[in-house]
Amino acid sequence: MAKLVVIATPIGNLEDITLRAVRVLGELDALACEDTRRTRILFEKHGIASPRTIFSYREANEAHAAARAVGLLGEGLTVGICSDAGYPGISDAGYRLVSRALEEGFPVEVIPGAGAVEPALLYSGLPTSSFTFKGFPPRKPGPRKRFLEQERDLPHTLVFYESPFRVATLLADALEVLGDRKAAVCIELTKKFERIHRGTLSRLRDELGGRPIKGEVTVVIAGNHPKFLGPAEESGPYMADAGPEEEDPPTDPGPGEPSV
């Protein structure tokens, strides 16, 4: 029976894959994945047999790849989609294929798994009962500030993905727009060089603004609540554990690259 299967994969540590995902990956007729080379590393690590058809599906070729996937569904095949890390369609290509498959009447199944949002929230020590995932902020200062202003008066904890090259500018803009709130910068989650930096936005801006950051970054910022504002809140256990700074990885592994 034709079916599209959306499969979450590890965000770094290859052991963070579910038994169900391993089984389902081995049963597919075809697989659309962000980078076939990285996906094959996952298959080799867990002894998964590759489907007879495996092809690249990323933002640059999404229209063509989605059409190919839908064509395979039309042949009655079970087609999977995965990204290099986490869920396809969440800050990665995939949404358009899921939407089109549903529009054309094909069933869609989601295989849950790893993601960066929940670990970052828990590491931050900030409220988790209500949060907003904002994805990647705009690259340009003006749109980025307007993007942040949408959340200025709301109480929800904010979670962002960001390029390591733009973390300092995001922290500076967030300080200007949101005020000096508590926040956390989570680097290389689940990987060997995982680090968590906690503090106010001003402290994190000063701490991270003058040094290169390597790897994947998730930023968590407190919502609009007096408890999480101002220098008076900087002391105490919240500031602990920035991680082993002397053990920075020698090279930038790039977006979503798995560690073995």
**Span 179-227, pLDDT tens digits:** 999 999 999 999 999 999 999 999 999 999 878 899 999 999 999 988 8
Q: Which residues contact 152 (CB under 8 A, 6 or more apart)?
A: 177, 178, 224
- Return the pLDDT at 1: 82
Name the more confident of 246 and 95.
Answer: 95
Is residue 157 within 8 Å of residue 253, measured between CB atoms? no
pLDDT at 228: 85
Which of helix, strand or coil describes residue 199? strand
The two tokens of residue 64 are 């063509």
Q: What is the mean pLDDT of the chain?
A: 90
The continuous run of DSSP H or E covering 182 comes out as strand 182-187
Q: What pLDDT, in 10s, does the model give residues 75-96?
A: 999 999 999 999 999 989 999 9
Is 173 a residue whose pLDDT tops 70?
A: yes
Kindly report the pTM of this predicted structure: 0.85
Residue for token pair 């849950």: 112
Rg, the chain, Cα only: 20
pLDDT at residue 230, as a whole number:
65
pLDDT of 231: 60
State the Cα–Cα distance between residues 92 and 37, nearest whole angstrom.
17
